């Protein structure tokens, strides 16, 4: 399932820490990362930011790759500290109806992300999320938004990856 395309700007999720490594740039996104560090580190991929005015802010980044396919990230911050990373993958030939993905396209994205998570995290991802020491990873259908939903949510205690991991 995961593609074999160019791996520059490709995201790799580390099962030990829940950190995201960006090939070709040595970038690491990790639990507890400050919003200013994330913005500075990922400035080449910046797209938008939404400040909800209640301590929660989301920064959006695009033109990345996950498992060889184009993807976008939404980094969720609570009081300027990273707590979540949401992931959206664009699969080739995804079917659209009136500009929106069909349920078949949504299901294909969910299956694709689960396959890459299984490969990168070393666990089989079924219909539920998987818990790790650092938090939880998931890929599933969001019935409220009628879309694919995938990402990681970090436990409340920020954990930084060890050097070299």
Per-residue pLDDT at 8: 60
Per-residue pLDDT at 9: 83
CA 42 to the chain's CA centroid:
14
Beta carbons of 68 and 4 less than 8 angstroms apart: yes
Q: How far apart are CA 70 and CA 89, in angstroms?
A: 6
Beta carbons of 32 and 82 less than 8 angstroms apart: yes
Per-residue pLDDT at 52: 96
Beta carbons of 20 and 13 less than 8 angstroms apart: yes
What are the sequence ranges of the domains in the chain?
10-154
Nearest by Cα to 30 from 44, 13, 45: 13
Q: What is the mean pLDDT of the chain?
A: 89
Q: How far apart are CA 53 and CA 155, in angstroms?
A: 22
Q: How far apart are CA 29 and CA 147, in angstroms?
A: 25
Residues in the chain, pLDDT under 50: 1-7, 158-159, 162-165
Helices (H), the chain: 35-41, 103-121
Per-residue pLDDT at 157: 52
């Amino acid at each position: 399932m995961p593609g074999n395309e160019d791996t520059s700007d490709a995201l790799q999720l580390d099962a030990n820490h829940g950190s995201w490594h960006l090939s070709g740039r040595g970038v690491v996104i990790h639990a507890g990362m400050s919003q200013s560090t994330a913005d500075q580190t990922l400035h080449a991929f910046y797209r938008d930011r939404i400040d909800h005015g209640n301590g929660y802010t989301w920064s959006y980044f695009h033109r990345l790759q996950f498992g060889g396919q184009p993807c976008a990230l939404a980094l969720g911050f609570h009081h300027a500290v990273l707590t979540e990373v949401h992931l959206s993958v664009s699969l080739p030939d995804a079917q659209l109806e009136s500009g929106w993905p069909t349920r078949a396209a949504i299901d294909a994205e969910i299956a694709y992300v689960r396959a890459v998570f299984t490969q990168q995290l070393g666990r089989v991802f079924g219909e539920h999320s998987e818990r790790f020491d650092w938090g939880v990873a998931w890929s599933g259908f969001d019935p409220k938004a009628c879309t694919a939903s995938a990402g990681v949510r970090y436990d409340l205690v920020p954990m930084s990856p060890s050097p070299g991991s």
